[in-house]
Amino acid sequence: MKAYEFERRQFVIGGIALLVVVIYIIRLAVLQLAPNDYEEISRNNAIYNRIIFPSRGSIYDRNGKLLVYNEPAYDVMVITREVSGLDTLDFCRTLHMSREEFDDRMAWIKDVSKNPGYSSYSQQLFRPQISSADFLVFQEKMFRFKGFYVRERNARQYRYPNAAHVLGYVAEVSGNDIAENDYYNAGDYIGKQGVERSYEEVLRGQKGIEVLLRDARGKIQGRYNDGLDDQHPIPGKDIVLSLDIELQALGERLMRGKRGAIVAIEPSTGEILCMVSAPTYSAFDMVGKQRGENIMKLLKDQSRPMYNRAISGTYPPGSTFKPSQALTFMQEGIIQSDVTSYPCTGGFRYRNLKVGCHSHASPLSVKPALSTSCNGFFCWGLYYMFGNRGKYASVQDAMTTWKDYMVSMGFGYKLGVDLPAESRGMIPNAEYYDKHLKKWNALTVISIAIGQGEVTLTPLQIANQGATIANRGYYITPHIVRRIVGGQLADSLTRRHFTKASPRYYEEVVSGMRGAVTSGIGTCRGAQNPWYEVCGKTGTAQNRGHDHSVFMGFAPRNNPQIAVAVYVENGGFGATFGVPIGSLIMEQYIRGELSPASQARAAGIASRSVN
């Protein structure tokens, strides 16, 4: 056969087969064995982590009353591919929207540059949080609205309009939140302000992940790895506040039409019983679709209702600062109780300097000085302390000692309350005056002795001073959360902080403050009542405008249950607003109710505005 000469060609054909296979195997090796990110890309293609949101913890008051809870909210979702034969008119009417809104939203959803996750096969958010009433109607008609679905989500709800500052609210995360914490993704909710923010991690729990397989069209096809990689969500923990919602409501009523704050603390535990900042807003405004709009309105309000004056506001404490001075002078041996008397001739006079005072007996010792709130006495005390070169090498030295006392009493630094946005107030130190005054002595800074000048405190710090005096020398960091259900409070919230003054001197201060209530010339006579012994101290803090009305007190004198601070901006004398509001708060808390006479008083105060 002549074909023999071509027999060798079998090797050519076999060789071609070999060449093809070898080239393809090399290509396979390049694709599969060389380092690459195909594995990663294929995972990103196929794996969809569906996040399962845990239920957020509820919030209760100290008496177990539910304050904040979750309620289902309904989002309308759309799968654009499935939408057909829609009666747009009926649809828009059902959801209370206009035809333009409908078209705009649809266009937005389909615009990949604005809605990067768009797929015509998967659910897209069409309208968030429709009302339960709308939901019921929508559900009835849903069979006619092909391609539209309803997704249930949890939304925060409030039982009371009160305590809005303390509770805070929950809203969608901002870009910053996402940048700061990997936990959050766009569209997640996060606590903003109040307990919702400071206890965010406790309340929110831990998201769960369902690892799912998603096909090329964005449809979910099943679980990845039989669900072995799934993470179950951990529900958020419930929180019990130390707040008494009745007391809080009363406080908010009393502060109506005024600016300022009320803070009440249980001295033995540091638990905050009420925290009012006026003007306030309704917690109900922080719910639903209108929240954003409401917040914008509140932020524009000149009276700054969203500002929590109780912890963020810094004010001159005025005379409520005097107990701290009495304690410092006694502990430092500048004055002896019942022995040392300073004169007060209508105030403190030294050469050209004069700090005015009202008329009372003179000279006087520390207890009556506290009871009558004598400016002269405390100015002399500071004058002798800062001038005592036997004890302090320089005025700076004396100033530093003084400052240390103040700091030990919880002034000048944040107390560490478990709420966001606490201010530290201001306690000046020697460096501060060196820098600003160059040459200075006791006389230059004399007004700090009576809680004026550079000294500022937050209402919380003033209340905490009351609690410290009630405890005769120590305080526990004031806190708003009493208990985390199934959790533990931070150690810093249960520790005792002892001041530099000994309980012995505190007893003297207590007597002085009691005298302010009982004696005929006391500044807190209005706080006297037949049921329990009140100790109090008023303040009338000078400022550029009308004086601020301040009160600090606690009751009962022995085994105190409540310490309270009231601060009414431009309210005038401490006795005008501070004393009556403070005593009503104490009465409500200690007795659980107001007597008819007190109710009348409360109504009177609630109706009075300070302009």
- The residue (of 48 and 378) whose beta carbon lies closer to another protein is 48
Minimum distance from CB of 115 to another protein (Å)? 17
CB of 185 to another protein, least distance (A): 23
Q: Which residue lies nearer to another protein by CB, 146 or 217?
A: 217
- DSSP-derived 3-state class of residue 272: strand
Residue whose tokens read 């150690």: 491
Complex with another protein: residue 46 or 77, whichever CB lies closer: 46
Question: Taking the complex as a whole, how short is the minimal distance between the CB of residue 35 and another protein, in angstroms?
Answer: 10
Q: How far is the CB of 223 from another protein (least distance, A)?
A: 8
Distance, in Å, from the CA atom of 333 to the CA atom of 500, rounded to the nearest integer, reads: 13
Interacting residues toward another protein by CB under 8 A: 1, 3, 5-7, 9-10, 12-14, 16-18, 20-21, 23-25, 27-29, 31-33, 36, 38-39, 41-43, 45-47, 213-217, 221-223
Between 30 and 353, name the residue whose CB sits nearer to another protein: 30
- Separation CA 277–CA 320 (nearest Å): 19
Closer CB to another protein, residue 23 or residue 437?
23
Nearer to another protein, 230 or 271 (CB): 230
Residue 369 to residues 284, 316, 322, 392, 541, Cα–Cα distance (Å): 47, 20, 9, 25, 17
Give the nearer residue to another protein in terms of CB position, either 27 or 110: 27
Is residue 167 within 8 Å of residue 67, measured between CB atoms?
Answer: yes
Written as six digits, the tokens of 41 are 């890309």
**Residue 480: closest CA among 420, 540, 436:** 420
Give the whole-angstrom CA distance, residue 270 versus residue 264. Answer: 10
- Answer yes or no: are the C-beta atoms of 526 and 579 closer than 8 Å: yes
Rg (Cα) of the chain, in Å, rounded?
34
On the CB side of 417, CA atoms within 13 Å amount to 33
Taking the least distance from each CB to another protein, the nearer of 23 and 361 is 23
Q: What is the DSSP string of 230-257?
A: -B--BPPPPEEES--HHHHHHHHHHTTT
In whole angstroms, the minimum distance from the beta carbon of 20 to another protein comes to 5
Instruction: For 176, list phi and psi in degrees, rounded to 5.
Output: -65, -45
Block residue for tokens 């004058």: 383
Long-range contacts formed by 340-345: CB under 8 A, 24+ apart? 340/365, 340/366, 341/365, 342/369, 342/376, 342/377, 342/380, 342/381, 343/376, 343/380, 344/374, 344/375, 344/376, 344/377, 345/376
Quickly tell me which residue has 């306690």 as its tokens: 427
Q: How far is the CB of 209 from another protein (least distance, A)?
A: 17
Between 5 and 100, name the residue whose CB sits nearer to another protein. Answer: 5
Q: How far is the CB of 228 from another protein (least distance, A)?
A: 13
Question: Among residues 37 and 100, whose Cβ is nearest to another protein?
Answer: 37
Rounded to 10 degrees, the C-alpha dihedral 331/332/338/341 comes to: -150
Q: How far is the CB of 27 from another protein (least distance, A)?
A: 5
**Residue of 463, 561, 489 whose CA lies nearest to 244:** 561
Distance CA 475, CA 440 (A): 33
- Residue whose CB is less far from another protein, 17 or 603: 17
Helix segments in 320-443, DSSP class H: 322-331, 366-372, 375-387, 395-408, 430-437
Please state the closest distance from residue 22 (CB atom) to another protein, in A.
9
Q: Which is nearer to another protein, 180 or 215 (CB)?
A: 215
Closest separation in Å from C-beta 32 to another protein: 4
CB of 3 to another protein, least distance (A): 7
Place of tokens 């607003």: 577
Kindly state the greatest CA–CA separation across the chain: 146
- Residue 87 Cβ, how far from another protein at the closest point, in Å? 33
Under 8 Å between Cβ of 278 and 549: no
Q: Round to whole Å and give the CA distance between 399 and 213.
A: 69
